[in-house]
Amino acid sequence: MKCEDLASMPAAVESGRDLAYKAVPDPQPGTMLSFFDAFVESAKRNPPAQSGAWVDAVVLDLEASVKATTQQLQELREAGVVDAGALGMRFSLVLC
């Protein structure tokens, strides 16, 4: 699904997330897939509006999802780091 306008963004994010899951043979929590899950849920809870106020709420949710990856994968927990893919996705959204 293509994002044609703000109103279609939550559905487009969900469609993209679903495609990402299909591309991964063994999806695991604590990866950028968890980030995409959080993005879908946040976009539904904070529907996009012209005012832009929804962006702050979504960014906070996405920051929390990146931080949570440390506890979702043993390797990340042992290293004390977050998932690089999730972190990269979070920063790429800010730069867009």
On whether the CB atoms of residues 35 and 62 are closer than 8 A, the answer is yes
pLDDT of 80 = 95
Q: Compute the average pLDDT of residues 30-42.
A: 95
Does 96 have pLDDT greater than 80? no
The rounded distance, in Å, linking the Cα atoms of 33 and 54 is 22
pLDDT of 62 = 95
> For residue 63, which phi and psi values (nearest 5 degrees)?
-60, -45
Predicted TM-score of the model (pTM): 0.87
DSSP secondary-structure letter at 80?
Answer: T
pLDDT of 5 = 81
